[in-house]
Amino acid sequence: MEGTRVLSDLRPGEGAVVCGLTGAGEVRRRLQDIGLIQGTAVVCLGTSPLGDPTAYRVRGAVMALRRKDAAGVEVAG
Amino acid sequence: MRAERVIALAGNPNVGKSTIFNALTGLRQHTGNWPGKTVANARGSFTHQGRDYQLVDVPGCYSLLAHSAEEEVARDFLCFGGADAVLVVCDATCLERNLNLTLQILEVTNRVVVAVNLMDEARRKGLEVDLPLLSERLGVPVIGTAARGGEGLDQLLDALADVCDRPPRQAPAVDYPAYIEEAVARLEPSLEKLCQGKTLSTRWTALRLLEGEGTILRGVNAHLALDLSRQPEVEAALDKIFRAWAVRGMGRDAAGQAIATAVVRQGETLCRDVVRSRRARPDRLDRRLDRLFTSRWTGFPIMLLMLLGIFWLTIVGANYPSAVLSAWLFALEDGLANAFTALGIPGLVTDVLIHGGYKVMAWVVAVMLPPMAIFFPLFTLLEDFGYLPRVAFNLDRCFQASRACGKQALTMCMGIGCNAAGVTGCRIIDSARERLIAILTNTFMPCNGRYPTMISMIALFLAAGGAVGSFAGALMLVGVILLGVGMTLLVSRLLSATVLRGVPSSFTLELPPYRRPQVGKVIVRSVVDRTLRVLGRAVMTAAPAGVLIWICANVTVGGATVLAHITGFLEPLGRALGMDGVILTAFLLGLPANEIVVPIMVMAYLAQGSLVAMEGSALLAVFSANGWTWTTAVSVILFSLLHWPCATTCLTIRKETGSWRWTALAVAIPTVCGVVVCALFHLLCLALGWA
């Protein structure tokens, strides 16, 4: 069993499933609003030229998240 | 006469709401392919089957749990605005995410029509949407539309009329876990009494009470004109519920999460079998373009090339029409003056109105219209295509380092067009702190009113004529923009460390699918909406300014004109900044509209009573005779980039921040920067023997 991975650990092209949100209230609600809840499939698409933020495919849309915020999303797979 | 029906138009950002709004009302609200275009509730009206409707375009939002200022506007109108029906626009290419908001709205009201828009794009991507099935599952009419081509709009209107006449009966939109449903059932009876006569869903209100989300409850309380959670019955019921939850080890926070999760899940379930994809990767082209526009090696070069291209086309293209327009408008001046004289109007009045007001106005139009008529359409094409969010994506790291929001890049892009528009656009930024930073620094982006000054300085002193010259000129202009970007980042960082202390809030930026720009419509729209509007504003301020300038240049006190007194007073400061008193005076008098800065200088140098239209070598001769060199030109460019915002922008900042103190700061910051930078440049020139 490997340690917990978070969304920001994903490399471009890699996919995973959300297992939980650990961020504080406001951040968490934002992420829920775009459809990131337990069980949501996410694919990491690519990173900005300067290394942050990173674009993810979430429920058919492409959302860019900063590493700090993506670190509050636990993923598996 | 039956009363007008009010329809709220809601949806996620960037799903084509504004296009539907325009198609239905014929009113040209500006649309662009990036999230957060509608900055306040725009209204328009239409008639259908002999009935009048008012359509209210609510800002795009992802949920009714408001985060940003514009989402709050949306939530308040949808929850408390009392519309007769809500038209929810969804993006067919990303339906599941869109259903989250749809379901939340269905909890507020059952008078809903869902428009699944962008059906044409979905088809192109090989997506099929089973609209009847979705309609059956949601319990409200669902219409497929492709608003850009007008597809489905008639059915939409019929469905809206139908929903207003016969509101659909409808089961609760979302199923929550049993313990939450029980709690809702316990709260509803007392809420029914309190909400009587008000347009407010008791089920929705009960859920918000259980979540205990502060800003929404404040809105509810304001709407009901009472403190809901302090009502004895409600308080008692809530108390009981929370105690029961506590026994089972459940907190309010967990309940809030469960509620949010249930809505997303419901959307997921509803979407099953509704959307089918015929292709494995429907967004392949989008991702390829993204790699081109945002990769490490091509992202920034392409960004700079686009900027360069736009400026080059603007500079080259604006020359000729500008000359024609000014010749034509100034010829009209004499005609008007003669007509005034013939009508027996006193000479003084003619002087003030025609040689004062009209002349400045004509100048502003001649100088401003051609570059705007080229710049705005080009810029709008990029916007329509969906490129701007990629700029924000590329640059976000810089804003993060300045502890600001990456969406500030979008407001800066708007500022390149017009700072007042950029300041209003700052509403897309979620956090109040980051929004203020973006507002206070927007004027570091040179607007359309300032290019003419910069371009003429570059053309006269820094770059030769011809194709090479105009390219070099565009290159220098890009350099000026980059300096502005640098100043923006620097000042944002300084503000974050001082008056607006704080760390960046969470940041989500949607990168919408690319869309083929509608070239014809873009040109018409950007000329009609943007060019003429900005021009109208400039004319409105320029004419009174012209009168004032005429008075300054013609009223004499103690043997010299008021203008001469002012320039004399400012001379020492101007010299210290590598310029002179006339130049500073011109910037001061140019407060209403930056376009008139150069003509005021010429007027003052020639001691003329009114603005002097002058081009090329004649202009160069006047400046040279007054001791200008290329360093003076650079100083003017620097000061043009870094000085107080124009009057319209100041008023807009006052409106957006609600405070004269922030407005004063927004004036002081760029001014101080300009004084410091110009003084340093002047010292450098002295040290190197250039000046």
- B299 contact A CB<8A: yes
- Closest listed residue to residue B315, CA positions, set B437, B221, B452: B452
CA distance A2 to chain B (A): 27
Q: Tell me the three state secondary structure of residue B561.
A: strand
Residues with Cβ within 8 Å of B460's Cβ and at least 6 positions away in sequence, in order, are B616, B619, B620, B623, B633
Residues facing residue B10 across a β-bridge: B88
DSSP labels for B15-47? Answer: SSHHHHHHHHH-------SSS----S-EEEEEE
Which of A48, A52, A58, A68 would best serve as a mutation to test chain B binding (most B beta carbons within 10 A)? Answer: A48
> Does B510 contact A at CB distance below 8 Å?
yes
B96/A63 Cβ within 8 A: no
Crossing angle for the helix pair B616-625 and B597-605, to the nearest 10 degrees: 60
In three-state form (DSSP H/G/I as H, E/B as E, the rest C), the secondary structure along B171-186 is CCCCCCCHHHHHHHHH
In chain B, domain spans? 5-165, 178-250, 299-503+520-688
CB-facing half-sphere around the CA of B307: CA atoms within 13 A: 21
Question: A55 CB near a chain B CB, below 8 Å?
Answer: yes
Q: Please choose, from the candidates B424, B433, B422, B443, the residue with its C-alpha nearest in 3D space to the C-alpha of residue B399.
A: B433
Can you read off the two tokens belonging to residue B79? 């929850």
Select the CATH number that applies to the domain covering B5-165 from these four: 3.40.50.300, 3.30.1780.10, 3.40.50.2300, 3.20.20.70: 3.40.50.300
The CA distances from residue B157 to B116, B160, B196, B415, in Å, are 14, 5, 31, 37
Please tell me the distance in Å from A16's CA to the nearest CA on chain B.
Answer: 17
For residue B12, the chain A residue with the least C-alpha distance is: A34
Query: pLDDT value at position B543?
Result: 81
Q: Rounded to the nearest 5°, which phi and psi values hold at B57?
A: -85, 105
User: Does residue A53 have a cis bond before it (omega within 30 degrees)?
Assistant: yes
Distance between CA atoms of residues B467 and B630, nearest Å: 21
Q: What is the helix (H) or strand (E) element at residue A16, kind and residue range?
A: strand A15-21
Q: Which amino acid is at B143?
A: I
Instruction: Tell me if B476 sits within 8 A of B462, measured CB to CB.
Output: yes
Question: How far apart, in Å, are the Cα atoms of B645 and each of B220, B440, B579, B636?
Answer: 39, 10, 20, 15
C-beta atoms of A64 and B509 within 8 A: yes
B239, β-bridge pairs:
none
Give the pLDDT score at B274.
92
Residue A18 contacts B, CB cutoff 8 Å? no
Interchain CB contact of B449 with A (< 8 Å): no
Question: Distance between alpha carbon B275 and the CA centroid of its chain, in Å?
Answer: 33
Q: Which of B403, B395, B447, B458 is nearest to B620 (CA)?
A: B458
User: What's the CA angle centered on B467, arms B633 and B378, to 5 degrees?
Assistant: 85
The encoded tokens of residue B457 equal 């300085």
> Chain B residues with CB inside 8 Å of A50's CB?
394-398
The answer, for A61 touching chain B at a CB cutoff of 8 Å, is: yes
Angle at B384 between CA B379 and CA B385, to 5 degrees: 100
> What's this model's pTM, rounded to 2 decimal places?
0.86
Residue B462: DSSP 8-state: I
Query: Do the Cβ atoms of B394 and A48 come within 8 Å?
Result: yes
- In chain B, pLDDT over 90 holds for what percent of residues? 37
Are B511 and A64 a contacting pair at CB < 8 A? yes
**Does the beta-carbon distance from B393 to A29 stay under 8 Å?**
no
| DSSP label at residue B151 | B
Which pLDDT does position B36 carry in this prediction?
46
- B97 and A51 in contact by Cβ < 8 A? no
Does A26 contact chain B (CB < 8 Å)? yes
Q: Would you state the pLDDT for residue B177?
A: 92
CA distance linking residue B491 with residue B364, whole number of Å: 31
Alpha helices in B166-231 (DSSP H): 178-194, 202-211, 214-224
Low-confidence ranges of chain B (pLDDT < 70): 1-2, 27-41, 66-67, 465, 534, 611-615
What is the number of H-type helices and E-type strands within chain B? 30, 11
Yes or no: say if B516 and B567 are a contact pair by the CB < 8 Å rule.
Answer: no
Strands B51-57 and B42-48: antiparallel
Q: Inter-chain contact B94–A60, Cβ cutoff 8 Å?
A: yes
pLDDT greater than 90 at residue A6: yes
DSSP state for residue B474 in the 8-state scheme? H
Contact between B398 and A65 using a beta-carbon 8 Å cutoff:
no
* C-beta separation of B317 from B374 below 8 A: yes
Half-sphere exposure of residue B47: CA atoms within 13 angstroms, side-chain side: 4
Smallest Cβ–Cβ distance between B65 and the set A29, A45, A59 belongs to A29
- Residues for chain B: how many in total? 691
Indicate yes or no: CB of A32 within 8 angstroms of CB of B264. Answer: yes
Predicted pLDDT at B390: 94
CA gap B260, B272 in Å, rounded: 19
Q: Does A48 touch chain B (CB under 8 A)?
A: yes
Please give the residue of chain B at the shortest CA–CA distance from A37.
Answer: B261
Distance from C-alpha of B629 to C-alpha of B566, rounded to nearest angstrom: 23
Q: Residue A74 belongs to what H/E stretch?
A: strand A73-76
Q: Which of B400, B430, B508 sits opposite A34 (nearest CB)?
A: B508
Residue of B506, B507, B510 to mutate when probing chain A, most A C-beta within 10 A? B506
Residue B615, classed as helix, strand or coil, is coil
DSSP code per residue over B140-160: S-EEE-BGGGTBTHHHHHHHH
Both tokens of B379, joined, read 């810029």
* CATH fold label, A5-76: SH3 type barrels. (2.30.30)
Query: Could you read off the pLDDT of B502-560 as tens digits, one per residue?
Result: 777 778 899 988 888 878 877 877 777 777 776 777 777 778 888 888 888 889 888 88
Kind of pairing between the strands at B85-91 and B51-57? unpaired
| A66 interface with B at CB cutoff 8 Å | yes
Amino acid in the structure at residue B561: T
Do B167 and B137 touch, CB atoms closer than 8 A? Answer: no
Burial class (CB in 10 A: 0-12, 13-18, 19+), B70: buried
Q: Per the CB < 8 Å rule, is A37 touching B406?
A: no
